[in-house]
Structure 1
Amino acid sequence: MAVQEIARQDWQTFLGGFAQVIGGREAAVEVASVDHGDQRLAEGVPLLGLSYDAHGDRIEIAFENLDHRIEHPQKIFVDDAIGGGLIALEIIGEDDARTILRLSDPLLLVEASRI
């Protein structure tokens, strides 16, 4: 697996492009923090979109029947599977809480190149 950090100036473009190609893929999201431990918020739920609001400094992850916000995110990492395909995003919030979004099926690099 290869982990790559997305530069802050690219967040809106990257997340907006990612949202266009996910097409309702099933995903899981969990949050890990020192204060609250590990919490799984959703599993096997269609992912509807992701966005970064630079003015409000927040990332929103939209699932069917669930929205999750990360206020004042600090970093975004992308995890690629061996052999290609985006399999996960990790978003680190200002309190060092880690939101991990895992796709059920890897997003192939051909699709990801449209991002």
Structure 2
Amino acid sequence: MFAIWICVYQNHEDFKDANLAVVSSRPETQDCNHGTASTGCIIATKNEFGVTGIAHGCQFYFYDTDDLDQLTDDTQPGDIVSFDLQFRIENKLLPITSIRNWWERIKIMVDRGANRSSSSRE
């Protein structure tokens, strides 16, 4: 599974035994709260505290929003890709698919088999 956001607190206690690979992330600042929370909803370790992610135990790759091209290149059939963001344009919040560059990259990923039922990853 892949996710894209600005940054993540990769040493968060809920990720202690998680299969988290941070491919790229900006320096850890208070701006990492959303990326960490979104990641935790998916992969937080099943243990005696905190939350348990809905896909705990999966292999999870985290990318910075500046690395959309790398994420597109890395996507394989069966991968699940999560975009946990939106853009503000003219004081309106819009989904990322409203930006042509993002729409085109997402289409490439889907055409390659992202978000389908079988995976080529081991």
Comparing both structures, which one devotes a greater share of its residues to strand?
Answer: 1
Asked if these proteins are the same fold (TM beyond 0.5), I'd say no
TM-score (normalizing by structure 1): 0.23
Larger Rg: 2
